[in-house]
Amino acid sequence: MDWTSVLLSAVFAGVVATAVTVAIEKWGGLIGGLLGTVPSTIVPAGIGMYVAGGEDVLVMSMSVVPLGMLLNALFLGAWVVIPRWFPDAPYLLVLTTVGALAFWSLLGMVFLVAVDQATSYLSLQQLALGGLALLVATAVVFNRRPQPTPKGTNRVSTLVLVARGVMAATAIGIAVGLSGLGFPTLAGLASVFPAIFLTSMVALWLAQGPTVPQGAAGPMMLGGASVAVYANVAMWSLPAYGAVVGSAMAWVASVVGWSLPAFIVLRKHHANVNG
């Protein structure tokens, strides 16, 4: 296994991951949540998987990314639902964090078993497209009644931003490492571990209170579908055009084909609801 590709992918992922918290803090949950979730850590992860494991490993790993993003969408939903269910609970942030992570872990194990069964009668491309369809449906339903999406009034500390970058780098490093060791399904799931979403929610809650991260959950859920779009395109573009050009093609396709249209539609929807 090429440990250099693992290290470079992890470092790059950690650097780019810090942008989402800053975007939400500066522009609010709608703009920051949507545009801050354009494909970022998945780019070095995909390149690292392709370099470390080759085409077969890349395709297998990317095929489970849309289902992993569906897990992340449900993870974000837990940050809205749990505080509603237990509004007076002590240590509500701790309860919400632990509950959301436990929910993600439990569903993750279920998804791994489901993927193993599904690949016996579905192609990897069909699996990826099916995961994307489920993710889009979940995000649309969740955004039917949008939350307020205020900007932050307090600055997220540098220490929290650094911690967020380290967590994201660790997750991507593990994902690329697993792909090189011959565990592509686990690598695909690890590549979308909600390190970015988790640290964003905790950092914003600590700095701004619960309203800002809860308002960002829906847009982040919808925006995160761009990562699933990226994975679907990358399964074809990286083997066809190489790591650099193929990644660029997948990124442009996901941003132009999903992130920007989703932002326009969601902004109009918020304006209609609030107006």
Q: For position 84, what pLDDT does the model report?
A: 86
**Helix, strand, or coil (residue 156):** coil
The mean pLDDT of 198-203, rounded to a whole number, is 75
Q: For position 229, what pLDDT does the model report?
A: 95
Indicate the pLDDT class of residue 48, thresholds 50, 70 and 90.
confident
Indicate the pLDDT class of residue 234, thresholds 50, 70 and 90.
very high
CB atoms within 10 A of CB 81: 17
Q: For position 245, what pLDDT does the model report?
A: 95
Q: For position 107, what pLDDT does the model report?
A: 87
Q: For position 42, what pLDDT does the model report?
A: 82
The mean pLDDT of 223-241, rounded to a whole number, is 93
Q: Which residue has the higher pLDDT, 13 or 149?
A: 13
Structure tokens, 221: 């859920």
Q: For position 3, what pLDDT does the model report?
A: 56
Q: Which residues of 219-244 are buried (b: 16+ CB within 10 A; e: fewer)?
A: bbbbbbbbbbbbbbbbbebbbeeebe
User: Does residue 221 register a pLDDT over 90?
Assistant: no
DSSP per residue, 192-245: T-THHHHHHHHHHHHHH-SHHHHHHHHHHHHHTHHHHHHHHHHHHHHHHH-HHH
User: Does residue 271 register a pLDDT over 50?
Assistant: yes
Q: From the centroid of its chain, how far is CA 239?
A: 23
User: Does residue 263 register a pLDDT over 60?
Assistant: yes
Indicate the pLDDT class of residue 236, thresholds 50, 70 and 90.
very high
Inter-CA distances, 88 with 75, 82, 83, 92, Å: 21, 11, 8, 8
Using CA atoms, how far apart are residues 198 and 149, in angstroms rounded to an integer? Answer: 18
Q: For position 184, what pLDDT does the model report?
A: 63
The mean pLDDT of 153-170, rounded to a whole number, is 65
User: Does residue 179 register a pLDDT over 60?
Assistant: no
Q: For position 108, what pLDDT does the model report?
A: 82
The mean pLDDT of 56-82, rounded to a whole number, is 88
User: Does residue 274 register a pLDDT over 50?
Assistant: no
Structure tokens, 236: 């074809």
Using CA atoms, how far apart are residues 80 and 43, in angstroms rounded to an integer? Answer: 28
Per residue in 112-155, pLDDT (tens digit) is 788 878 888 889 999 999 999 999 999 888 877 665 545 555 56
Mean pLDDT taken over the chain? 77
CB atoms within 10 A of CB 120: 6
Q: Which residue has the higher pLDDT, 214 or 96?
A: 96
Using CA atoms, how far apart are residues 257 and 206, in angstroms rounded to an integer? Answer: 34
Q: For position 272, what pLDDT does the model report?
A: 55
Structure tokens, 273: 């609801």
The mean pLDDT of 177-206, rounded to a whole number, is 68
